[in-house]
Structure 1
């Protein structure tokens, strides 16, 4: 008995129906694999919290936008694809000029990777975007210039940066400037005043008998006194004035563009408002007073330190003269 070997008939010699079936099966496999790749790509796009986009520079038309657009902007992608102004009109008004200029820079640089601007989402919330873009010049007959980019939502990062900045520059108890931030700003104000030959006045304020307040009513009540003094200072001072807590019970202010005469009026108003404050502890009511030292910039002053020294001396003179008063130095 002779065993026959399986037929080795090549594919192209198979009956026509078999060839058609195999070709159909092969095509279906390719379609399935293509569908799997498309589903995978679509899934990846859905999971990315950034807007991928493509923009035709000449026609001002958005050619593509990823699904994250609707999540971040809160608007239908179809409206954007029909009109680029949907994106433009979403930009925070103060940032619009920068956003447009930085987009145009890509035509010269080829890529712009440091664009950050705000948008107003459909729900009214302000969001920060980090929008990187790159030029992709096509080589067809029309030489179309296509710009592609990725706009990432960095709102949480910006909020964290803002909070860290606030913590680094703000006195935790009184929410006024801390010593370091106050003097950084004061040195800058002094340099500006010297350059512009403009007036500038420096004020030091110290709470009278603060240790006695702590010893009598407790440190918690003392902290409350500091907070009320700080609130009063921020309420009395003008827009653009500097105010901060620079020591335990010591505050300072700088009045840019303010003559000593005007600064004296501000200090007097501050003195009156502090005298009006009333505090209560276990059915006991008490008030507080402050001593202030005031001085203005002169041609002989080479740094803020000389103003600080004169204001400090004037404040201690106010203490020696009976407290609750303003002394100019």
Structure 2
């Protein structure tokens, strides 16, 4: 009997055909799964708010950059892939040397995880980056040296750190240094002056009859007086001088590199500026005065405490002599 098969294949060939079909279906399934994985990976890269990058050290070419680059830098990824200087030129000028040196450190260390530097985005905004990177070493000779990394925008974190630092070191009412921060800085200036053998002056200032101002015009008016005194201090002192509020109505200043004669000129300028202040309350105008005690570093001073004590004694002597004056001690 002859068995006619419309497909021209014998039953013995059917299993082979079925296996081929199954293999094709399996391959299609694998392709579909790979496509799904690729789409998932692409979605993840789009959602991650950090720049993933790969860089060929020898050719100075960016091999890959993730979509977050355009969001954070505001620049074209295509231009960056064509020219590495697009990234380099966006680095804040003051941070460029550090950014380049720390990138080169990867060759020696294998990884650098503490790189922080600023960039200037296309819109002119300055942003902070935390850029961790490591080297993908290939043992085979001739293989390229590839550095890969992840750059995260930490601008908000830096702004928060700056604000916390400001709150920790600044007197909230007068916006001048608070007591703790002032004396921390003053101690550093004292040690540096002793080490270098350079002059240093220390000044204490106390508002005359401040309690009477509060009792007569109220504490808000007293607060205004304190704020105006702080403004006079910032306007009258040199840029490298320290100035802070160290008590209720008491302020202090340190003049690095300043001998007594010149320090006295600065104190007198501050005295004149304060005497020019005029306040109005309920139709009544009034002025204020201050008493100041000034002293300078001597060879016998072993700590800042000695200068503080002499300036304090001189200030109270100014009070006893009739206020509104400067006494050197």
So what's the TM-score if we normalise by structure 1?
0.94
* 1:250 corresponding residue in structure 2: 250
Aligned residues: 319
> How far, CA to CA, are the matches of 1:146 and 1:182 in structure 2?
48
> How far, CA to CA, are the matches of 1:48 and 1:13 in structure 2?
53
* 1:40 corresponding residue in structure 2: 40
Per the TM alignment, residue 282 of structure 1 is displaced from its structure 2 partner at its CA by 1.2
> How far, CA to CA, are the matches of 1:108 and 1:12 in structure 2?
66
* 1:188 corresponding residue in structure 2: 188
* 2:222 corresponding residue in structure 1: 222
Per the TM alignment, residue 284 of structure 1 is displaced from its structure 2 partner at its CA by 1.1
* 1:275 corresponding residue in structure 2: 275
Contact 1:135 1:145 in 2 (8 A): yes
Contact 1:133 1:147 in 2 (8 A): yes
* 1:200 corresponding residue in structure 2: 200
> How far, CA to CA, are the matches of 1:185 and 1:131 in structure 2?
32
- Structure 2 spans left out of the alignment, 5+ residues: 1-10
Per the TM alignment, residue 236 of structure 1 is displaced from its structure 2 partner at its CA by 0.6
Contact 1:12 1:19 in 2 (8 A): no
Once the two structures are overlaid, the 10-residue window that deviates more, 19-28 or 187-196, is 19-28
> How far, CA to CA, are the matches of 2:12 and 2:147 in structure 1?
48
Please list the CA deviations of residues 224-275 of structure 1 after superposition, one character each: whole Å capped at 9, or x if unmatched. 1000000110111001100000000000000000011001111111011001
> How far, CA to CA, are the matches of 1:66 and 1:23 in structure 2?
36
Residue 55 (structure 1) aligned with residue 55 (structure 2): yes
Please list the CA deviations of residues 182-217 of structure 1 after superposition, one character each: whole Å capped at 9, or x if unmatched. 000000000000111000000000000000000000
* 2:66 corresponding residue in structure 1: 66
* 2:304 corresponding residue in structure 1: 304
Q: 1:321 to 1:12 in 2, by over 3 A?
A: farther
Q: Which runs of 4+ in 1 moved over 6 A?
A: none
* 1:129 corresponding residue in structure 2: 129
> How far, CA to CA, are the matches of 2:260 and 2:172 in structure 1?
31
Per the TM alignment, residue 26 of structure 1 is displaced from its structure 2 partner at its CA by 2.3
* 2:165 corresponding residue in structure 1: 165
> How far, CA to CA, are the matches of 2:310 and 2:232 in structure 1?
24
Per the TM alignment, residue 24 of structure 1 is displaced from its structure 2 partner at its CA by 3.5
> How far, CA to CA, are the matches of 2:288 and 2:17 in structure 1?
104
- Aligned ranges 1:141-180 → 2 under 5 Å: 141-180=141-180
* 2:323 corresponding residue in structure 1: 323
Please list the CA deviations of residues 114-159 of structure 1 after superposition, one character each: whole Å capped at 9, or x if unmatched. 1111100111011111111101022455221111111111111111
> How far, CA to CA, are the matches of 2:46 and 2:135 in structure 1?
24
> How far, CA to CA, are the matches of 2:183 and 2:103 in structure 1?
38
